[in-house]
């Protein structure tokens, strides 16, 4: 018996109110998983966009600053 079948068997033995709690939790996990996947893609996109800029020398120096704080 696989995991989905075990989950279904366990849920079927619960009262309906508890089944609703399980459903809420499943929906929460789906949303969380989607957010984590989107975050991974965002991080990948940013790192890919910045990869060529890491070693690029800056055209500015300290002398270009108009204000300094100490």
CA distance 19 to 27: 12
pLDDT at 54: 66
**Higher-confidence residue: 40 or 5?**
5
Collapsed DSSP state (helix, strand, coil) of residue 1: coil
pLDDT of residue 9: 94
Q: Are 11 and 19 in contact (CB under 8 A)?
A: yes
Instruction: Find the radius of gyration of the CA atoms of the chain.
Output: 25
Report the predicted TM-score, pTM, of the whole model to 2 decimal places.
Answer: 0.54
Query: For the segment 28-62, what is each residue's pLDDT rounded down to a tens digit?
Result: 999 999 888 888 778 777 777 777 776 777 788 88
Distance CA 11, CA 5 (A): 10
Say what the pLDDT of residue 2 is: 94
């Amino acid at each position: 018996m696989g995991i989905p079948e075990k989950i279904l068997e366990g849920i079927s033995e619960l009262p309906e109110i508890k089944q609703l709690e399980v459903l809420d939790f499943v929906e929460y996990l789906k949303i969380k998983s989607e957010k984590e996947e989107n975050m991974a893609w965002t991080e990948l996109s940013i790192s890919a966009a910045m990869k060529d800029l890491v070693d690029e020398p800056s055209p500015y120096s300290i002398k270009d600053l108009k204000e300094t704080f100490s």
